[in-house]
Homo-oligomer: A and B are copies of this chain.
Amino acid sequence: MSKPLKVALLGAGVVGSQVARVILDEGPTLEARIGRPLELVGIGVRRMDVERPGIDPALLTTDLEALVARTDLDIVIELIGGIEPARSLLLTAIANGASVVSANKALLADDLAELSSAAEANGVDLYYEAAVAGAIPIVRPLRESLVGDDITAVMGIVNGTTNFILDKMFSDGSTFEDALAEAQQLGFAEADPTADVEGHDAAAKAAILAALAFHTEVRSDEVFCEGITGVTPSDIAAARQMGCTIKLLAVTKLTDDDRIIVKVHPAMVANRHPLASVSGAYNAIFVNSRDAGDLMFLGQGAGGSPTASAVMGDVVTVARNRRRGTAGHRSAGYTSRAVAPIGESEAQFYVSFDVVDRPGVLARCAAIFGHHGVSLRVVQQNNLEPEDPADEGAPGARLGVMTHVTREQDLADVAEELRVAEFMRSDVRIMRVEGF
């Protein structure tokens, strides 16, 4: 029997325990695919007093520093998440000559360049398919399959928690708060849901996608980020009226002057667009490129088994490279494309607001849009029921306006002017639109 490749695993949560199970149970299959057996030599955990069926307690340690300080490791799999200590542990592992596989989107979004350089300098691999969109193979297609083409845009649904909440709001008219509470009860949202609902999780994935697609460095704090906490039942109703649903999208595009737009925001998505029907735990990513045209990738975005599938694909790939004494592909990051300010991004918008219902108001609204060069595609007017029948004020109307493609800044200027107009009876609600 040929010499085993030694593997250390950091983290034994939902994904980690599934990865451990695959390595321990599928030995002969993995050896056939790699050409050498894998030997799991240690599992770094936070606490020892947790039941871990099928895992030999002798493998467990709470001293993760000592585990990665071993100089005989071939592969370190990092599934603990967060920036520190994950970053230091991986840099130590790399310095000691181990190839690394990580599913840590937060870390990779912030430190991909540093980790890539360290891996390159030490002649080891850095793979991270599981960091974006769970089981969906998207990192490898962007790094390799499309590397002879020029990608122009990537757009996707990359967060299952927000997808569940928005589905729920759409299907039964729940408020955001009620839908979140239900998601928490069912285990689809964490006790502190901030990272999901504020869009930070999606922003980390958007940064990684942008870096891969455009061969440059993008950090998550460069991503324009608007979460779903402000989405209201009246946004949902407006979307329905326009033949749309609402999805949290991660979007990155190349501009005409070779800069990068990278943003996360809720958007009205036309029902006929394939992303509109991606529901629940599924993620989906659209890629547009010069030669390939439109591509779509769909699959489960989270969960122990789907994420473990992506991790194990990387482990086998890295192990094969190790057996042959080589290291695989790193994204060169050879361009230094700048991230453009969100104001220069272009999109279609749906703008809604309540006005006093009297002659001339619609014309004045239209003039404000026109003054800023924003042309309109659809205008809807609904009369408002007075909230209090005894309301003595003037009758109101709700205007909903879908624009043609518009610069964000021009739309922001329109909103600013509308907000101070004397005929306004509400704030101005702005939602981006895709698929028309």
Contacts and interface: CB of A to CB of B under 8 A. Distances in A.
Interface in A20-64: 22, 26, 29-30, 32-33, 35
Contact of A295 (B136, B215, B289, B291): B136
A306 to B, nearest CB: 5
B137 A334 contact: no
A147 to B, nearest CB: 4
Taking chain A's interface residues, is the majority helix, strand, or loop, or is none over half, making it mixed? mixed
Contacts of A293: 135, 299-300, 305-306
Contacts of A141: 137, 140-141
A129 interface: yes
A415 to B, nearest CB: 36
Interface stretch (A183-191, A316-324, A379-387): A316-324
A148 B329 CA distance: 18
Contact of A292 (B29, B144, B305, B329): B305
A33 B295 contact: no
A147 B310 CA distance: 9
Nearest to A299: B295
Interface residues of A, number: 55
Given A141-B137, A299-B296, A306-B291, A334 B32 contact: yes
Contacts of A137: 137, 140-141, 145-146, 295
A177 interface: no
A141 B129 CA distance: 11
Given A293-B299, A295-B136, A300-B293, A148 B334 contact: no
Interface centre among A18, A129, A144, A289 (most CB of B within 10 A): A144
Given A33-B215, A147-B313, A148-B314, 6 more contacts: A129-B145, A137-B141, A137-B295, A146-B313, A274-B298, A295-B299
A295 B298 contact: yes
Contacts of A29: 150
A149 interface: yes
B312 A149 contact: yes
A238 B275 CA distance: 30
A69 interface: no
A145 B296 contact: no
A329 B125 CA distance: 15
B289 A294 contact: no
Nearest to A319: B148
Nearest to A295: B299
A297 interface: yes
Contacts of A296: 296-299
Copies of this subunit: 2
Nearest to A296: B298
Nearest to A286: B298
Contacts of A294: 298-300
A42 to B, nearest CB: 19
Contacts of A320: 329
Contacts of A291: 18, 22, 135, 305-306, 308-309, 312
A246 B137 CA distance: 29
Contacts of A148: 22, 30, 33, 309, 311-316
Going nearest first, the 9 A-B pairs with the smallest beta carbon separation are A148-B312, A137-B145, A291-B309, A135-B292, A292-B309, A137-B141, A295-B299, A326-B326, A149-B309
Interface string A260-302: 0000000000000010000000000000011111111111100
A334 B296 CA distance: 31
A332 interface: yes
A22 B136 CA distance: 29
Interface in A172-227: 215
A207 B326 CA distance: 31
